[in-house]
Amino acid sequence: MKPENLSISHIATIFRVSQNEIFEISQNMDRYLIGPISTYVNDKWREIYSPTYPFIYDLKRFHNALQRWGFSHNAVHGGVKGRSCASAAMFHLGCRHQANRDIKDCYPSIKRDLLRDKLEKRGFNSYVSSLMANLMTVDGAVPQGSPISSDAMNLYLYDIDQRIASEAGKLGVAYTRTYDDMVVSSTKPAHTKRLAEMIDDSVVANHLRVNEKKKVKNGFKYSYEYRTVHGIDVTSPKGLRIDDDQAAKALRQIQDYLISAKSLTPDSFYPVLYKRKIAMGWVHYVKCINPKHGKHLNSIVNAGDRKALHAIKKTVPLELNSKWWLHNPFLLHFNSVANTHIFQN
């Protein structure tokens, strides 16, 4: 679907409400996203928002619709169905010179008004642009934790992707972006550096910032240096391999979920649920490269699920199956009538 063909009725149908109701929902997103909740993930404190139940399913349907409509750039491998960090790494396999750029605090840096302007520039009409910008933001910015946050990022960064991909095609340089990580590589260092400088300029021009710390550490790699893409070793043209540091980080994050699940409480419910989401992300990441090791990590997540369910059954007077608490977190955490905790300490 072309952006100009998307209408308010399309979006309202996805959410199964009237056009008036979808506008009302979009203007009160703080009612449907719980947060921010400070959660320590990937060696950093992050402000996470958790969608309420059953609204999370509306957001997931909207995410799936955006995927079908194909609004993301072809160079994007994060938040796009059928693509992953592994598919991005394949484009850089065996390339001799590589540059990496990371956008600092990308999600909260994308403000509602900036997103709306980008959508209008892309071709969406003004009403649809305003509606989508409202649905994709809370407290004036794109939240981390919403099912459509990655779609918001991909729509916002489309201009950058188009500009870099166009120039990369002319110079014979490979370019990919996975969420906020951008990578260019080629056989000629001058071309790679030129594209890296273009990325720096484009990021700043779009009211964002390059992560200078990561730029100093992994900003440019020559052919004689060890090279990774999203933690995947691409140095050898023979095939992909998981970087040792990333493998250790994956295990650490998954074990962190297991430990947190053992001591699950009402107040820690949403942070633990988010940690599980991160843990499963690592499982899928590892499975793309090493299915056997990915299966082992998945067994640790399953152990955490059992610990969490055990903690829940101690206090919730309900007969639950093993995955009920994952699919219905809002009902578990809050009483649907009194808006209080179902289970107490």
Instruction: Give every CB contact of residue 15 below 8 A, 6+ residues apart in sequence.
Output: 21, 22, 25, 58, 61, 62
3-state SS, 267-312, equals CCHHHHHHHHHHHHHHHHHHHHHCHHHHHHHHHHHHHHHHHHHHHH
Q: Would you say 15 and 32 are in contact if contact means Cβ atoms under 8 Å apart?
A: no
Across all residues in the chain, what is the average pLDDT?
A: 88
Q: Measured between alpha carbons, how far is 155 from 139 in angstroms, rounded to an integer?
A: 19
pLDDT at 12: 97
HSE (CB half, 13 Å, CA atoms) of 196?
23
pLDDT of residue 48: 87
Q: Give just the sign of the alpha carbon dihedral 289, 294, 295, 298.
A: negative
What was the pLDDT predicted at 38? 83
Are 244 and 270 a contacting pair, CB within 8 Å?
Answer: no
pLDDT digits (tens, 9 = 90+) for 36-53: 888 776 667 888 898 988
Q: Using one digit for the tens of pLDDT, what is the confidence trace for 252-295?
A: 999 999 999 888 877 777 788 888 988 998 998 888 888 888 99
Residue 76 above 60 pLDDT? yes
pLDDT confidence tier of residue 340, bands split at 50, 70 and 90: very low
Give residue 157's pLDDT band: very low, low, confident or very high (50, 70, 90): very high
| Helices H / strands E in the chain, number of each | 16, 9
Q: What is the mean pLDDT of residues 186-212?
A: 96
Select from 238, 58, 271, 257 the least CA-distant residue to 148: 58
Q: Identify the pLDDT of residue 299.
A: 95
Confidence tier at 338 by pLDDT (50, 70, 90): very low
Is pLDDT at 322 greater than 90 in this prediction? Answer: no
Task: Give the per-residue pLDDT at 332.
Answer: 47
Distance CA 293, CA 3 (A): 41
Tell whether omega for the bond before 271 is within 30 degrees of 0, i.e. cis.
Answer: no
Express each pLDDT in 102-127 by its tens digit: 999 999 999 999 999 999 999 999 99
Q: Please report the pLDDT score of residue 263 as a whole number.
A: 85
Q: How far apart are CA 138 and CA 142, in angstroms?
A: 6
Cα angle at 105 between 270 and 133, to 5 degrees? 75
Q: Cβ distance 92 to 174 under 8 Å? A: yes
pLDDT 10s digits, 51-71: 988 899 999 999 999 999 999
In 3D space, the residue among 291, 289, 172, 184 whose CA is nearest the CA of residue 239 turns out to be 289
Q: Work out the pLDDT band at 312, boundaries 50, 70, 90.
A: confident
pLDDT of residue 326: 60
Span 322-329, mean pLDDT? Answer: 56
Is it the case that residue 193 has pLDDT exceeding 70? yes
User: What pLDDT is stored for residue 95 in this prediction?
Assistant: 86
Give me the sheet containing 174-178, strands edge to edge. Answer: 174-178, 181-186, 97-102, 220-221
Q: Which tokens belong to 258?
A: 């297991």
Q: Is the pLDDT of residue 319 over 60?
A: no
